[in-house]
Amino acid sequence: MKKLVILSGAGMSAESGIKTFRDAGGLWEGHDVMEVASPEGWRKNQALVLDFYNQRRRQLFEVNPNQGHIIVAELEKDFEVHIITQNVDDLHERAGSTNVLHLHGELLKARSVHNENDIVEWKTDINVGDLHTDGYQLRPHIVWFGEMVPAIADAMDIVKEADYIIIIGTSMQVYPAAGLVDYVKPTAPIFYIDPNPASIPYLSNSIDVVPMTASEGMAVVRERLRKS
């Protein structure tokens, strides 16, 4: 099977009702991003940060995968599919995808503030005073601004081996995720699905821009892949 790598961002889940990062009225509405998504914000006000992510986690149980997620999962019948997502939701998995790498963490996991590798499944609220088994406070398993992205090395290795790349719902402007396209083989075609696609300069690859939503665009790209 050919290796198909999906790079997905906030636009992938927007149709499911999860607010996007940069849009007006988006995820950070009412909060300076550094208040709720940085180590400094955490040290300043743990209760605020926990409440912010508790609300995001609760919302996950009110939404469902959209047709874009479902088509991506169905492509596993014909390709070796690997998903590298900037999203912290579990909609790819719920749609049936089996190889999902979360660059920025996962809402349905928590970890010890003492050891970033002490990760546990977590589907309810996290409150101040909720401790890991090691006796330290639990925090969301989310990569905040200013923190390392532990999964980026694995993501690079996956991208290097791709026969096809599909970029869905991301501006490819936020690093280190944006740098992943630099590791794509020059012979690998790239499909870029986004209603408002950004430019991706400096690449010699064939880039097929599909200015549509995730669901609409994946239906189009699925047919183009079948003909390739």
The C-alpha angle with vertex 21 and arms to 17 and 26, in degrees rounded to 5, equals: 60
Q: Identify the active-site residue in 69, 102, 104, 141.
A: 104
Structure tokens at 162: 């791709």
**120 to each of 1, 46, 109, 112, 132, how far by Cα in Å?**
34, 19, 6, 9, 8
Pairing of strands 138-142, 105-112: antiparallel
Residue 120, Cβ neighbours under 10 Å: how many?
12
Pairwise CA distance, residues 90 & 109, whole Å:
11
141 included as an active-site residue: no
Pairwise CA distance, residues 13 & 87, whole Å:
8
Q: Write the burial class of residue 148 (CB in 10 Å: 0-12 exposed, 13-18 middle, 19+ buried).
A: exposed
Structure tokens at 195: 């209603």
Handedness of CA 166, 169, 171, 177 (dihedral sign): negative
Q: Which residues are catalytic?
A: 104
